[in-house]
Homo-oligomer: A and B are copies of this chain.
């Protein structure tokens, strides 16, 4: 098993740019696994802005729901960048899929991957408790998914203002 990395942080904290640097570092090329569904124009603009940063060194794939199968299918020598887990979770929840089973399948599949996977995810639970019940369920699910994937990764990074803060492994004795 190769080393996998989870990059979390606030919106616009530089997670994707950092993930791209890390994914290209070993070979100069990598597989980009987008999870976003282009539901509306705003999302289409965001996807276009992200793609504009990427060149020919990227093999672009799209896995809004079948992420585990996509990782199995693309497991060769090149790192895979999954951007991002929170959009994947959104798609699963909106499609009434069993997101908890899918999250556990993802963590289990990571153990058998030959090439590394770099995941981008989001911190969504550090604001005031949302009044909207669906929003509360989503932030609970996102927190659970982040913990579940973090356990299966060798490295966890918190991105702050474009810079990485080490979360796992660390020298904190517990």
Residues of B within 8 Å of A127, CB to CB, are 124-128, 130
User: For window 156-174 of chain A, which residues contact chain B by CB distance below 8 Å?
Assistant: 156-158, 160-168, 170-172, 174
Q: Is there contact, CB below 8 Å, between B6 and A161? A: yes
Selecting from A51-59, A71-79, A135-143, the interface stretch reads A135-143
Residues of B within 8 Å of A151, CB to CB, are 162
Q: Within 8 Å of chain B (Cβ to Cβ): is A123?
A: yes
Selecting from A13-21, A28-36, A95-103, A109-117, the interface stretch reads A13-21
- Closest Cβ of chain B: how far from A1's Cβ, in Å? 19
Docked pose: A140 CA to B50 CA in angstroms: 14
Docked pose: A97 CA to B130 CA in angstroms: 24
Docked pose: A129 CA to B46 CA in angstroms: 14
Knowing A12-B140, A13-B143, A174-B22, the reply to whether A150 touches B163 (Cβ < 8 A) is yes
Knowing A128-B130, A128-B138, the reply to whether A12 touches B143 (Cβ < 8 A) is yes
Q: Is there contact, CB below 8 Å, between B10 and A147? A: no
Residues of B within 8 Å of A157, CB to CB, are 172
Q: Is there contact, CB below 8 Å, between B129 and A126? A: no
Docked pose: A147 CA to B9 CA in angstroms: 13
- Closest Cβ of chain B: how far from A61's Cβ, in Å? 24
Closest 3 CB pairs of A and B: A12-B143, A127-B127, A11-B125
Between A and B, 24 residue pairs with Cβ closer than 8 Å are A10-B143, A11-B125, A11-B139, A12-B147, A13-B125, A13-B146, A121-B161, A123-B126, A124-B128, A125-B126, A126-B126, A126-B127, A127-B128, A127-B130, A128-B139, A146-B162, A149-B161, A150-B161, A150-B162, A151-B162, A156-B160, A165-B165, A165-B172, A166-B172
